[in-house]
Structures are given as structure tokens and as C-alpha cells.
Structure 1
Amino acid sequence: MSAQPRRALVVIDVQNEYVSGDLPIEYPDVHTSLANIGRAIDAARTAGVPVVVVQNFAPAESPLFARGSAGAELHDVVASRERDHYVEKSLPSAFAGTDLGAWLAARGIDTLTIVGYMTHNCDASTAFDATHAGLAVEFLEDATGAVPYENSAGAASAAEIHRVFSVVMQSRFAAVASTDAWRAALAEGAPLPRDNIYLSNQRARKARVAA
């Protein structure tokens, strides 16, 4: 990875299903994240950073993201803006079964900036795959979002899920930052601050002892 990142902004699954459909993003507020996604795209275009738009489709009989449904369509925040590459997928990671890896490699991209939905599913899967492929990852915590879950393993709010996944990503898989912080780093041509597992754990242990 170069000192000056060669970034691509990857806009993951910003589709109506998450806004007006049956899987509404609850945290951060979806209108806040949508606004920040638009700001990130605009900043990327100004800086000459390529924008990759990813769209998820499920079979026509699926209750979510069914091909041909209104919920599967890109939200206007993304659909109304220019993009450099388009990726269609059917699995969580934007790399799985797509040409994303080859497209990035052909352009010498070494850093992915992830925005879109959901934090704990497609965003995290893409971040993990990117890390395993040797890419640096940036995750914009206020331009992404989560939904709540309840199942046989327990229950978690959208805020809990978003917070925990953000902490885990910052410990190893991504530099987590706000859209404003990323825009400033973009303007400077600088990488975002990163952390590691050891220091993340040491801080937690020391805080527990101090309490």
C-alpha cells in the first residue's frame, strides 16, 4: 500500500428496500446516512476517485430485493449520480462472483472506502474479503447502517450491531471514520488512522482494571 492511498469508493446496496421497503435501516438514521453517501460520492468525483456502485438482487419470489421490484432499485441518492463501474451481486460480499477484484487490480487501487448497507452483512463481508486480498479498507460509520435482529441466538438493536461491528472493523479490518474525516483525508491525500487487535484489547483491559 502506498503512502498516498489509491482509493476507490464502493457504494454498497443503497437500494429502496433499506429506505421505504421491508428492511429499513434504523441506525444511524437512514436519512443521515443517505445524505453522507451523497456527500462521499460527490467528494470522490471531485477528487478523481473512482466510484463503484454495487446492487444486490434476489430471485423474483424473494421477500427482499426481488429482481424487478421497487425495493431492489437503487435509491435516487445513488441512481442520480455518475459512477465509474457497476457491480451486480447476489451474495453479501461485493467480491463474490463479480469482477470487482479484477477491476480494482487493473487500476492499481489499494484502498477501498465502503459506504452503504448493511454494516454487519454486505459491508463487513466486503471489508473482510478486501483485507484478505491485501487491500486497505476504510469504513464510513455515518454513511452506513444496520437493522435490529432477534433470533434463537438472542437479540440486538441496530445501534448495538453497528457499534460492535465498527469496533471490530477498526481493530483489524478497516479504518473507521466519519464522512467529514474521510473528506479531509481525501483532500490531503492521506490515509485514515488505523488500529490493531493488540492495542484495542490492551485499552479495553486497562479500562476494565481502572474501573
Structure 2
Amino acid sequence: MQRALIVIDVQNEYVTGNLPIGYPDVGESLDNIAAAMDAATGAGVPVVVVQHAAPENSPIFARGSEGFALHPTVAGRPFDHLVEKALASSFDGTDLADWLAAKGVDTLTIAGYMTQNCDESTARDAASRGLTVEFLSDATGTLAMSNNAGSVSAEELHRHVLVVMATNFASVVTTDEWIGALHKGEPLECPNLIASTEAGREEAVRRSNARSVA
């Protein structure tokens, strides 16, 4: 097993800019991103930093703007490769796949922002390319969304994506759990669609019974 840690779009836009992360608390997720980067570097695991870039007239991530800049949590730490992207997946239009292949990476660990957008897109893309994917639940994050399809809180959105990831696409763990596995050189428990659906049915029955009693 050869891991790489990918730190996606940890830029000022998500901290002091127009897209402030709402859940988990951005200070918490930044601390966990820092811990994951430090642990990876200490263990000789390559670290890839991804930076989203938009045209200079864009309201978010405008190239050269303060929002575009990497947050000091990431900018002040060593990393092995910088990927600049313009789309959601870190693989689209970049050299990421070739770089990972050249390093012999078969397991990609995801941290950064946003949970349901660039994180999830990268995770799904990595899984479809045959990579094992790990998703750090407390080193990722998102914000509340509302549009003509409905509204969802940052916490609901984050948790729902984690559940989906853990069914079929990625092993979802906390940063501390990941660091523990890293130090032991162990793989994480794989996502399990069958177990997730069985547990889901059991939970649905439990809730139905509880409503009947009430």
C-alpha cells in the first residue's frame, strides 16, 4: 500500500472570503488538516496540495486575489506537488493521475474543501480509476446551501456525504484514526454497500417502531 494525502482547496476563500466553511468548525478542520499533513510528512507519505483557480474577474477564487491564496495552514507546510485546477475533480485537466502513478500511489487520502463538491468529486473520480480512497471526516467541511431544490444545513450536507462515501467510495475516518493507521502501516476498513443498506433498513424499522409506540 502506497498512500498519498491530497489537500484540496484549503484557500482563504473558505476561511476569510466569500465561502466561509460552516461545519465542522473551520478552526477544527484546519487543525486536523495540519495534523494530517504533519503526520504524512513524518511518515514519508507524499502530500499533494490542490489550488482552485478562476479568472481574475470571478467573484470567488480569482487568480491573484486574497481568496485564491493558499491558507497559511497549508502554505506554511512542506508538500510534494502542487496541482492547479479549474473544475471540481482534482483529476480533471491536471497532471494528478500521472503524478500519482509515477509515485506508485494506490491509496488516496482526501482532506480539504468542500465536502460535497471538490472532495466528493475527487473521491468518486479516484475510485473509478481503481484507487483506494480514504476520506477524513473532520479534516473536510462545507457550508449551508439553499436553492430551488431546497435547503440543507452545513452539518446535514457534510454528514450525508460522509454516509454516501462510506457506502461504496471511500473509507471514512477521523484524522486521529487515520494517523493511527498510518503509523501502523495498516489499511482502513473498506466501504461496504451491503452492510450500509442492511443497517439502514434496520434503522428505518427501529424509527418506525419508535413512532408507533409514541
97, 100, 110: which one pairs with 2:106? 110
Of residues 161, 168, 176, the one that matches 1:165 is 161
Task: For structure 2, list consecutive stretches of 5 or more residues without a partner in the other structure.
Answer: 208-214
Secondary structure of 1:160's partner?
Answer: helix
Counterpart position of 2:201: 205
Tell me if structure 1 keeps the 8 A contact 2:169–2:191: no
Aligned to 2:78: 82
> 1:151 is aligned with what amino acid?
N
From 44, 47, 58, give the equivalent of 1:48.
Answer: 44
Partner of 2:53: 57
How many equivalent pairs are there? 207
Which 4+ stretches in 1 moved above 6 angstroms? none
Q: Take 2:204 and 2:8, find their aligned partners in 1: how far apart are those partners?
A: 36
Identity of aligned residues (%): 59
Residue 180 of structure 2 is aligned to residue 184 of structure 1: yes
Counterpart selection for 2:17 from 18, 21, 32:
21
- Which stretches in structure 1 are left out of the alignment for 5+ residues? none
Whole-Å Cα distance in 2 between the matches of residues 138 and 98 of structure 1? 21
Give CA deviations for 1:33-86 in whole Å, capped at 9, x if unaligned. 000000000000000000000000111111100011000100000000111011
TM-score, normalised to structure 2, is 0.95
CA distance in 2, matches of 1:128, 1:204: 22
Offset, 1:206 = 1.4
Larger Rg: 2
| Whole-Å separation in 2 of the counterparts to 1:165 and 1:210 | 23
1:66 has 2:62 as partner: yes
In structure 1, what is the Cα distance between the partners aligned to 2:166 and 2:16?
A: 30
Partners of 1:47 and 1:105 lie apart in 2 by: 19
**Which residues of 2 match residues 129-140 of structure 1 at below 5 A?**
129-140=125-136
Q: Distance in 2 between matches of 1:197 and 1:144?
A: 22
* 2:210 paired residue number: none
For residue 87 of structure 1, report the CA deviation from its aligned partner. 0.3
Q: Is the 8 A contact 2:14 2:20 kept in 1?
A: yes
Return the alpha-carbon distance in structure 2 between the equivalents of residues 156 and 207 of structure 1.
22
What is the RMSD computed on CA atoms of the aligned residues?
A: 0.7
Aligned to 2:211: none
Task: Give the structure-1-normalised TM-score.
Answer: 0.97
In the TM superposition, what is the alpha-carbon distance from 1:195 to its structure 2 partner? 2.5
Q: Tell me, what secondary structure is at the counterpart of 1:42?
A: helix
Is 1:151 the counterpart of 2:160 in the alignment? no
